[in-house]
Amino acid sequence: MSDFIATKLGRGLTSGQTADALLDRSGATVVMDFFQKAIMDGKGFQLRAGTISVPAVGDVVITDTAAEMAVDALSGMVVIPTYLGVGVNLAAATLYESAVKSVGAISTSGTAFVPLPLLMGGAAASGIARVQTAGNVVVTAELATTTRIHYSWAQPIAAGAYTTSYEWQPAAPPVLNGAASLYVQIAAATTGPSYFANLDYVEFTASQLGL
Same domain (yes/no): 20, 98:
no
Same domain (yes/no): 10, 66:
no
| Bridge partners, 187 (sequence order) | 59, 97
Domain that holds residue 49: 42-209
Whether residue 37 is contained in a domain is answered as no
Same domain (yes/no): 134, 198:
yes
Whether residue 106 is contained in a domain is answered as yes
Amino acid occupying residue 182 = L
Which of 98, 108, 110, 185 has its CA nearest to residue 140? 108
Whether residue 140 is contained in a domain is answered as yes
* pLDDT score for 98: 92
What string of pLDDT tens digits covers the 211 residues of the chain?
A: 345 444 444 445 555 555 667 777 777 777 788 999 899 999 999 999 998 778 898 888 888 999 999 999 999 999 999 999 998 887 777 888 899 999 999 999 999 999 999 999 999 999 899 999 999 999 999 999 999 999 998 887 776 666 678 899 999 999 999 999 999 999 988 888 889 999 999 999 999 998 8
Quote the CA–CA distance of 74 and 65 in Å, as a whole number.
19
Same domain (yes/no): 79, 101:
yes
* pLDDT score for 2: 44
In a 3-state reduction of DSSP, which class is residue 39?
helix
Same domain (yes/no): 13, 103:
no
Same domain (yes/no): 9, 53:
no
Same domain (yes/no): 171, 108:
yes
Whether residue 114 is contained in a domain is answered as yes
Same domain (yes/no): 65, 162:
yes
* pLDDT score for 28: 78
* pLDDT score for 161: 62
* pLDDT score for 189: 87
Same domain (yes/no): 13, 53:
no
Same domain (yes/no): 97, 189:
yes
Same domain (yes/no): 124, 160:
yes
Quote the CA–CA distance of 20 and 13 in Å, as a whole number.
11
Whether residue 61 is contained in a domain is answered as yes
In a 3-state reduction of DSSP, which class is residue 126?
coil
Structural domain total, the chain: 2
* pLDDT score for 7: 47
Whether residue 94 is contained in a domain is answered as yes
* Exposed / middle / buried, residue 155 (Cβ in 10 Å: 0-12, 13-18, 19+): middle
What is the reported pTM? 0.85
Which of 4, 8, 181, 9 has its CA nearest to residue 104? 181
Quote the CA–CA distance of 26 and 23 in Å, as a whole number.
8
* pLDDT score for 132: 97
What is the CATH number for 53? 2.60.120
Whether residue 72 is contained in a domain is answered as yes
Whether residue 36 is contained in a domain is answered as no
Same domain (yes/no): 67, 3:
no
